[in-house]
Structures are given as structure tokens and as C-alpha cells.
């Protein structure tokens, strides 16, 4: 494992299940658009997809009714608002040849900085 992999594992171990789900959704979104790294523009849709519990739409081999949502919650966004946000973000991002969901995609520098700041806030407020 490389230094980038160690950094991702550190983040995964520090955050909640929902944060891990958001990061996985961001990775899948980045792969769908053929990105060389998980960017902030992928993390936002990852957060929205996680909020909506719509994992089955990201994984082509998931069967209808399968779920990866480990903790039920009330979505922050309505379905309509979430859809509009996802469409708006997708229109702003560059696309190329999709990357398979088994290929490793590193975090961009900006996402690493965002996670570092989230960890700082997490420690300040003693929250997971």
C-alpha cells in the first residue's frame, strides 16, 4: 500500500459509517466520469447519494432491493432537490472514459485538505 492508500485508510477509520459511504459513493461517481482522482465535485454527489440512500444506482451489479445503507435516517434533501443538485453538479464536471469500480482512484489534494479540516473539526468538537 502506498502513502495515498494510508491517507485514505486514516480518513476511513476516523469517520462515521455515513462518511465512509459518502466517500465510496464519491469514488464511484469519479469512476463514472473517468476522473483520475476523487475531486470535491465527486464528493458532493457522494454526500447527496448517501443522503438519499440510492446506492443501487451506482453499482451496476447490484440487484433491485439490495442496499448498503447501514443506518436509516431522514434525508436532508427532498428527492426533487437532490436530483436537481446532482444534475447541476454533473453538468459542471469534465467527463472521459469511465473507470471500472474495482480500480483504485486516489483522493485529490483538495479532498485531502477537506478531510484534514474535517478531522480537525471532529477533534475540536469531540464528534465522530
Please state the φ and ψ torsions of residue 81, each to the nearest 5 degrees: -65, -45
Reduced to 3 states (helix: H, G, I; strand: E, B; else coil), residue 34 is coil
The predicted model scores a pTM of: 0.76
- Give the total residue count for the chain: 128
- Helix (H) / strand (E) element for 25: namely helix 17-32
Pick from 69, 61, 71: which is nearest to 102 by CA? Answer: 61
Pick from 30, 27, 82: which is nearest to 51 by CA? Answer: 82
- CA atoms 29, 35, 39, 41: torsion sign: negative
Provide the pLDDT for residue 18: 80
Q: Cα(40)–Cα(60) distance, rounded to whole angstroms?
A: 23
Mean pLDDT by 10 residues, the chain (128 residues): 60 73 89 94 92 73 52 84 94 93 90 89 83
CB of 48 closer than 8 Å to CB of 82:
yes
Residues 68-82: tens digit of each pLDDT? 545 567 889 999 999
Provide the pLDDT for residue 67: 53
Provide the pLDDT for residue 54: 78
Provide the pLDDT for residue 127: 74
Amino acid at each position: 500500500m502506498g502513502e495515498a492508500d494510508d491517507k485514505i485508510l486514516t480518513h476511513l477509520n476516523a469517520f462515521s459509517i455515513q462518511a465512509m459511504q459518502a466517500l465510496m459513493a464519491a469514488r464511484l461517481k469519479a469512476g463514472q466520469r473517468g476522473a483520475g482522482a476523487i475531486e470535491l465535485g465527486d464528493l458532493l454527489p457522494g454526500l447527496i447519494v448517501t443522503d438519499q440512500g440510492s446506492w443501487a444506482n451506482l453499482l451496476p451489479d447490484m440487484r433491485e432491493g439490495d442496499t448498503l445503507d447501514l443506518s436509516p435516517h431522514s434525508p436532508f434533501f427532498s428527492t426533487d432537490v437532490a436530483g436537481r443538485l446532482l444534475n447541476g453538479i454533473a453538468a459542471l464536471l469534465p467527463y472521459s472514459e469511465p473507470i471500472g469500480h474495482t480500480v483504485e482512484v486516489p483522493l485529490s489534494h483538495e479532498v485531502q485538505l477537506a478531510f484534514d479540516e474535517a478531522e480537525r473539526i471532529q477533534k475540536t468538537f469531540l464528534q465522530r
